[in-house]
Amino acid sequence: MKKVSPHEMEELWEEDLLERYPENPAPEKAKEEFRNYDDPKRETVKEFYRLNHINQTYDFVLEKEKEFLKFDKKEITLWEAVEFLNTLVDDSDPDTDLDQTQHLLQTSEAIRADGHPEWFVLTGFLHDLGKVLCLFGEPQWCVVGDTFPVGCQHSDKIVYPEFFKQNPDSQDPLLNSKYGVYKPNCGLDQVHMSWGHDEYIYQIMKDYLPEEGLAMLRYHSFYAQHREKAYDHLMNKDDHQLFKWVDKFNPYDLYSKAAVPPNVKELRPYYEDLAAKFLPDTLKF
């Protein structure tokens, strides 16, 4: 099986999302104009989720939280973090020369064009910044991909649910029960999510953004809930209100990619000023 880079894996995952949810508005470009993947590459997505579903255990997530939520890897400015993330671009990829900054700007500029509040625009710019995990040595299966709760039964609404049979938690009577270690309708703030870029950037930004923006960061890959409603039994009333904002955000993430890249040099001063309204001078990763 062909080995793919983190950037290619991200593209494959997003292509897979577009195929899974065809009822959504189509992007500006025709589908055939986006990256086309032959069958072996499509198998790469299955292999990605096989590894993800086997290894994302409750104990694994607790270990990653302990390791990374000390925020002792780097302390840098926001723009330095974005430029650091740009090293994820795969120069051998023949279909795109967009770096991570341009994807973030495409998302946030689409949000800004629709007149949303400044915190919403900044959230769009920040949403994928947690992918710096790849640059700290984390494998792709615990950086990108759909997210889901751990510590309770895996929903059959999660993509490729059959792979959870090999997850050790599936053999644990407590962790394989409907509520697992949680209480009914306890609220997602009490729930541990599978480890990845969503959880990481949410944790980094917890003190700086309104709760609506934090929900967008933490749950934008939680498709089993915001598309399939598979975890209503863990959610409380506040969660349901916040997911209205997650639903507002999702199309900007999936459908904002345009043929003409944003002008990073021209936009940078605006985003530096915007970040200064909400964030400290440096961020700890």
Question: What is the domain range of residue 213?
Answer: 6-284
Lowest-confidence region among 32-36, 66-70, 111-115, 274-278:
32-36
Cα distances (Å, whole numbers) of residue 118 to 32, 100, 114, 125, 252? 34, 21, 11, 11, 15
Angle between helices 118-126 and 211-219 (to 10 degrees): 20
Mean pLDDT of 54-67: 98
* Residue 1 belongs to some domain of the structure: no
| Token pair listed for 123 | 């959230």
The total domain count for the chain is 1
pLDDT at 20: 75
- Token readout for 234 is 């863990």
Phi first, then psi, for residue 75 (nearest 5°) are -125, 110
Residue 194 is assigned to a structural domain of this protein? yes
Could you tell me if 251 and 92 are in contact, meaning their C-beta atoms sit under 8 angstroms apart?
Answer: no
Mean confidence (pLDDT) of the chain: 87
Residue 80 lies in a domain: yes
45 is a domain residue = yes
3-state helix, strand, coil in the chain (%, to 5): 55, 5, 40
3-state secondary structure 238-265: HHHHHHHHHHHHHHHHHHCCCCCCCCHH
| pLDDT at residue number 31 | 42
Tell me the CB-side half-sphere exposure of residue 65, using CA atoms within 13 A: 16
> What would the pLDDT profile of 160-208 be if each residue is shown by its tens digit?
999 999 999 999 999 999 999 999 999 999 999 999 999 999 999 999 9
- Is residue 153 pLDDT above 60, yes or no? yes
- Residues 219-269: tens digit of each pLDDT: 999 999 999 999 999 999 999 999 999 999 999 987 666 667 889 999 999
Helix (H) or strand (E) holding 267: helix 264-278
Q: For residue 100, tell me if it sits in a domain.
A: yes
209 part of a folded domain: yes
CA 251 distance to own-chain centroid? 13
Percent of the chain exceeding pLDDT 90 equals: 73
Q: Is residue 81 part of a domain?
A: yes
Asked if the structure places residue 233 within a domain, the reply is: yes
Q: In whole angstroms, give the CA distance from residue 245 to residue 239.
A: 10
pLDDT at 66 > cutoff 80: yes
